């Protein structure tokens, strides 16, 4: 095989290794191996253009390109690398409940503003937001939740 053939084989080797790394990213969390794959693919493409690149320069290009791809992606897509911040005491269900429609049970609320509401086919303990009693079958909106008790207010 000629010297030129060896460089072409090396170029294809870089490209195949890069594609393997990109595919491997699908099986591993972290989204870092992907950038090494892009660096390897770029190195292979440069080796097609400049077939006489020594191995030391190929490795330098691979390392530099991988890091630059990673840094560029983190700069332009920072939300992909940061988790969603929620306070430790936040309940993910609260967003789903806020504004939901419910109905006071046929028994109504007690004078202290507590009772039961029909919500999504189930009777829930409830407390009126203002603390006043609510009549039976009053349509209400859920404004929050305290443990297993819904906080409600009359719908207008």
Are the C-beta atoms of 56 and 26 separated by less than 8 Å? no
pLDDT band of 86, cuts 50, 70, 90: low
Long-range (24+ apart) CB contacts under 8 A made by 89-92 are 91/145
What's the pTM? 0.48
Residue 96 has pLDDT above 80, yes or no: no
Helices (H), 25-144: 33-49, 55-76, 92-97
Are the C-beta atoms of 25 and 34 separated by less than 8 Å? yes
Domains in the chain: ranges and CATH: 3-80 (no CATH), 92-154 (2.40.50.140)
Q: Determine the Cα–Cα distance for residues 156 and 150; give it in Å rounded to an integer.
A: 18
Residue of 30, 19, 32, 31 lying closest to 67 (CA atoms): 32
Instruction: Give CA 73 to chain center in angstroms.
Output: 16
SS3 69: helix
pLDDT of residue 2: 45
Torsion angle defined by CA atoms of residues 27, 29, 33 and 37, in that order, rounded to the nearest 10 degrees: 50
pLDDT of residue 1: 41
Report the alpha-carbon angle 51-57-59, nearest 5. 105
């Amino acid at each position: 095989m000629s010297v030129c053939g060896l460089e072409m084989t090396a170029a294809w080797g870089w490209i195949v290794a890069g594609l393997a790394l990109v595919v491997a990213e699908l099986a591993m969390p972290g989204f870092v191996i992907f950038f090494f794959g892009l660096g390897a693919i770029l190195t292979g493409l440069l080796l097609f253009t400049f077939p006489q690149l020594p191995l030391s320069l190929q490795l330098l290009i691979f390392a530099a390109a991988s890091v630059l791809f990673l840094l560029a992606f983190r700069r332009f897509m920072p939300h992909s690398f940061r988790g969603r911040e929620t306070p430790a005491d936040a309940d993910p269900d609260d967003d789903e409940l806020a504004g939901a429609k419910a109905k006071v049970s046929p028994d109504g609320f007690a004078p202290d503003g507590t009772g039961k509401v029909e919500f999504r086919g189930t009777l829930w303990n409830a407390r009126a937001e203002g603390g006043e009693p609510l009549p039976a079958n009053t349509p209400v909106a859920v404004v929050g939740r305290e443990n297993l008790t819904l906080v409600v207010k009359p719908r207008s």
